[in-house]
Structure 1
Amino acid sequence: MEKLPPGPELAMAYSTRSQLRMLHYRFDEAIEWGLRALALADQLGEIETRIHALNNVGTALLFAGRPGGRERLEETLALALAHGFHDHAVRAYTNFAECAVVSKEFGLAERLLAEGIAFATRHDLDTAAHYLLGRQAELRMEQGRFREAETIAQGVMNLERLPMVMHLPALTVLGRVHMRLGEPGGMALLHNALQEGLATGELQRIVPVRSALTEAAWLHEDYGACQEQLTALAAIDLNCFRAWDFGELAVCWRRCGMAMPLPIPNAQIPLPHAAELHGRPLAAAKEWDRLGLPYDAALALMQVRGVDAGPALARAVTIFESLEARPAAALARTQAQRLGVAGQLPKARRGPYGAARRHPLGLTRHEQQVLALIAAGMSNKEAAQLLSRSPRTIEHQVSAVLSKFSAASRMEVLLRLRGEPWLLATDST
């Protein structure tokens, strides 16, 4: 097509090449081809191609840790919504939300996922909605809300005829959460996710699974399995890694005591990983706390040595047990025994863990009751009578439910419940 007069087909070909490079984490090339597509699209007045290319460039910039990515993703989303390109809009929600989850911008991720899932449901884009739900499960896992992550991910996996790539985020989360909770089947799920991820050839489907398998092996002190997974990760071009992925790799490399040094790529290592790598695990834990990742904070506390080891391990055990993270709690207790500080740890918990299961969308117990009555078709007046609450209270609680569902009406809530039945079944104790 380059031998013909410049046309819209060539502009989209450039943008598609940019998309493929972005999916394979070849960010420099993705940006180069995307900018070429943007220039030609603007010359031709091709708004749809501009939307497509902005998404590729913005995602590549954010994953590469460079400035300008967020602005481009905000623009592609706004343009797609303004011009009624539903598929492009949901793709923008998907990529932007994933970037926010990966970079630990959880407030932004919450908003984008809520809006994106509601938008996809409203426009009958069920496959996209289920993919976004997998990312929502990932967000809950990162926040240490393991039972909510499990509920969402298992719900997605129970759906029939969902394409492989669309269920992979949920499958990966389900495997990792089961592994962290010490529940059976976690490793089988992760190995399944790895096989499916390898079939795609995309690093976003492969790197997180190998990192999860490394974590599982480390928790059980199986350093041979650690070496197997870390060696496979290091065999990839490290300059293609997202900054947060490489930071996790570098920290795992150190924790597992790998003999060979790990080459450092051009990407800047995120602050919590860098702090641990520079021998400041307490600072790393503080940064993980600030970002809202309690499990990662506790893992960093396990690396503390010297006079602070006892209090650090005691805090780590407390966090792990509050999260029901049994394997990590057990390893922390083993480390404390080896370091002679076991007496500083809280007493081991006996019997089942009693962690409350919160609602995946943050609904209160009263709001969940109202949601059930909405699903049953009751009016506000009927709900007020049944629950013995004032009409004004019910009105406020219905508004809260609609807001947390990012829904404009009761009908949109019902549409969400059709695709996410677990939102009604969650235990609110």
Structure 2
Amino acid sequence: MNNIGSLAAWSWPETSSELERSLELALQGGFEDDAGRAFSNLAELAVCRRNYRSADGYVRAGLDYCSEHGLDLYSGYLLATRAWSELDQGRWTDAASTAAHVLDMTRDSTLRTLTVLRVLATVRARRGDPGAWEPLDDALALASSAPDELQRVAPVAAARAEAAWLEGRIDDVGTETDAAFELALRRRAPWVIGELACWRWRAGIREELPPQTAEPFSLLIHGDWRRAAELWAQIGCPYEAALALSEADDEEPLRRALGECQRLGAEPVAAKVARRLRERGAQVPRGPRATTRENPANLTTRELEVLALVAQGLRNAEIAESLFLSAKTVDHHVSAILRKLGVHTRGEASAEATRFGFAGQDR
């Protein structure tokens, strides 16, 4: 039942009840491996359907269960799904950190590795950071080994299409998605059809959509960007909501799209929206000054010094000794750094330091 539900999750509209029953039976019977698999499958199904509250609940409960019973394989699956959920919900720093952690684990699962490679690449592409195509190429190589498995090929195809579109390589979108889109149509997978169709539509490919296409995508493709944006906001996907708003012709929704993209750090889409606003005669700042781009969180010189040492893995006591500061002062600096960067852990702060290019630099 567990395996059937897992395979059907990407195609059939009603399979969660089978998986839930599988989990119930596994827990009752003490079948630990089956329970770990069921938690993993249920979490993945929920994210695929954009039901993030359920997904995050299954991830938390599943990780607790797998930790208690030493099920490292399924812990890795669940963490990969968490990274996917964080990506969709606009928590990109968390997503990149979780994905990097999973990649550091033993790569004993192709699907798990595919998921986190795609997440890392998508975060980079959406931010306009370099290095998106290497993990995308690795993911494509893994997915190509099973061309009939929708859960492998479709997410990779969508990520590669998005990265190409963000770079302005519109003609590549169709090539990247042709096979996966045809497979999704055969499997009647509503959310996969919608996501792939939407990237193809943005690239100028016009085709008839099946009636089961997921509603937010269908609405956008048929011209109702306003309702699509509302649905994405309700679902909890701020990036998709901003993309929908960016299809408007009026200044107000375009400015909302720009603001959301700037909040997320989605520089390529923000640039596209800003260009559309200027074409309509709106006044839009040209972008941050060089000094702000070099230090986008407005950290002080001392905070930059502390952050560089945090990124090197030093503890607060070691940082205090290195900078001739008291431990209490370093504690205050680290707290301020986390707040300004909008992160919660030292690992996330280190990731941001690397992204902004001042990790390990002398200040």
TM range (shorter): 0.7 to 0.9
Distance 1:146 1:161 in 2: 22
Q: Deviations over 1:67-92 (max 9, x none)?
A: 4x222221111110111111110111
Measured after TM superposition, the shift of residue 235 of structure 1 is 4.2
Measured after TM superposition, the shift of residue 423 of structure 1 is 6.5
One-letter amino acid of the counterpart of residue 79, structure 1: L
Question: In angstroms, what is the RMSD of aligned CA positions?
Answer: 2.5
Q: What corresponds to 2:282 in structure 1?
A: 342
Which among 165, 169, 172 is matched to residue 225 of structure 1?
A: 172
Measured after TM superposition, the shift of residue 427 of structure 1 is 4.0
Q: Does 1:317 align with 2:258?
A: yes
Q: Does 1:354 align with 2:297?
A: yes
Which among 192, 199, 209 is matched to residue 264 of structure 1?
A: 209
Change (3 A) 1:134 1:241: farther
Q: What corresponds to 2:191 in structure 1?
A: 244
Distance 1:177 1:78 in 2: 35
Distance 1:189 1:277 in 2: 29
Unaligned 5+ residue runs, structure 2? Answer: 300-327, 329-343, 353-363
Q: Does 1:105 align with 2:105?
A: no
Measured after TM superposition, the shift of residue 295 of structure 1 is 0.2
Q: What corresponds to 2:139 in structure 1?
A: 193
Distance 1:354 1:282 in 2: 32
Q: Does 1:254 align with 2:201?
A: yes
Distance 1:163 1:245 in 2: 22
Question: How does 1:137-156 map onto structure 2 within 5 Å?
Answer: 137-156=83-102
Change (3 A) 1:236 1:73: closer
Q: What corresponds to 1:118 in structure 2?
A: 64
Distance 1:203 1:61 in 2: 10
Measured after TM superposition, the shift of residue 256 of structure 1 is 0.9
Q: What corresponds to 2:217 in structure 1?
A: 273
Unaligned 5+ residue runs, structure 1? Answer: 1-52, 357-385, 387-421
TM value normalised by structure 2: 0.77
Change (3 A) 1:150 1:277: same
Q: Deviations over 1:291-332 (max 9, x none)?
A: 000000001111112xx2x11221111111111111111121
Q: What corresponds to 1:216 in structure 2?
A: 163
Distance 1:76 1:235 in 2: 31
Question: How does 1:277-288 map onto structure 2 within 5 Å?
Answer: 277-288=221-232
Structure 1 residue matching 2:277: 3-state secondary structure? helix
Q: Is the 8 A contact 2:87 2:119 kept in 1?
A: yes
Q: Is the 8 A contact 2:128 2:268 kept in 1?
A: yes
Change (3 A) 1:163 1:248: closer
Distance 1:341 1:217 in 2: 28
Q: Does 1:297 align with 2:241?
A: yes
Q: Is the 8 A contact 1:81 1:89 kept in 2?
A: yes
One-letter amino acid of the counterpart of residue 178, structure 1: R
Q: Deviations over 1:324-376 (max 9, x none)?
A: 11111112112223x32432x466334234399xxxxxxxxxxxxxxxxxxxx
Distance 1:121 1:427 in 2: 26
Q: Is the 8 A contact 2:188 2:212 kept in 1?
A: no
Q: What corresponds to 1:5 in structure 2?
A: none
Distance 1:241 1:147 in 2: 33
Change (3 A) 1:239 1:354: farther
One-letter amino acid of the counterpart of residue 176, structure 2: Q
Question: How does 1:140-179 map onto structure 2 within 5 Å?
Answer: 140-179=86-125
Question: How does 1:406-425 map onto structure 2 within 5 Å?
Answer: 425=347
Measured after TM superposition, the shift of residue 57 of structure 1 is 4.2
Q: Is the 8 A contact 2:150 2:184 kept in 1?
A: no
One-letter amino acid of the counterpart of residue 245, structure 2: L
One-letter amino acid of the counterpart of residue 133, structure 2: M
Change (3 A) 1:355 1:98: farther
